[in-house]
């Protein structure tokens, strides 16, 4: 589950990378039994909400603006199962996946891959 969470964060960050092009983050994403719906807008420029899963339906996952850095995007993302906030780094992995690595302020770390729902 933590691996999948990391991937989600990557997805969220990539979506904020350019405003002149279609946002690759917009859409539905799957990992570890969760479906995440991402749209442009919201308080941080991108909104990713838990659409379905075992817990926290309706929870906003994007907790800060996602900033480009060294070919990746960094920002704060909430874990859909626990609600804990991770300082995350997201890297695109092709057109339909993102890899994420991140840690909480308490030192709990996670990584994983988030995949687009076809």
Q: What domain range includes position 88? A: 2-116
Q: For 14-71, write each residue's pLDDT tens digit.
A: 444 434 456 777 889 998 899 999 999 989 998 999 999 999 999 999 999 988 888 7
Q: Residue 10's pLDDT is what?
A: 46
Edge-to-edge strand list for the sheet holding 27-31? 46-52, 34-40, 27-31, 109-116, 97-103, 85-92, 72-78, 67-69
The answer for residues whose C-beta is within 8 angstroms of residue 48's C-beta and 6 or more apart is: 8, 11, 12, 25, 29, 36, 37, 38, 39, 60, 61, 62, 77
Q: 23 exposed, middle or buried (CB, 10 Å; 0-12, 13-18, 19+)?
A: middle
pLDDT at res. 22: 64
pLDDT score of 100: 85
Number of domains in the chain: 1
Distance (Å, rounded) from C-alpha 103 to C-alpha 85? Answer: 8
> pLDDT tens for residues 79-101?
999 999 999 998 888 889 988 89
CATH number for the domain spanning 47: value is: 2.40.128
């Amino acid at each position: 589950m933590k691996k999948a969470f990391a991937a989600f964060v990557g997805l969220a960050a990539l979506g904020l990378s350019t405003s002149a092009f279609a946002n690759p983050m917009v859409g539905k994403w799957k990992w570890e039994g969760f479906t995440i719906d991402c749209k442009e807008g919201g308080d941080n420029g991108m909104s990713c909400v838990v659409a379905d899963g075992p817990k926290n339906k309706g929870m906003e996952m994007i907790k800060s603006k996602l900033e480009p850095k060294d070919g990746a995007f960094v920002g704060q993302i909430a874990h859909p199962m626990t609600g804990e906030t991770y300082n995350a780094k997201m890297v695109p992995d092709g057109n339909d996946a993102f890899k994420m690595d991140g840690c909480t302020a308490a030192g709990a770390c996670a990584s994983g891959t988030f995949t687009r729902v076809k």
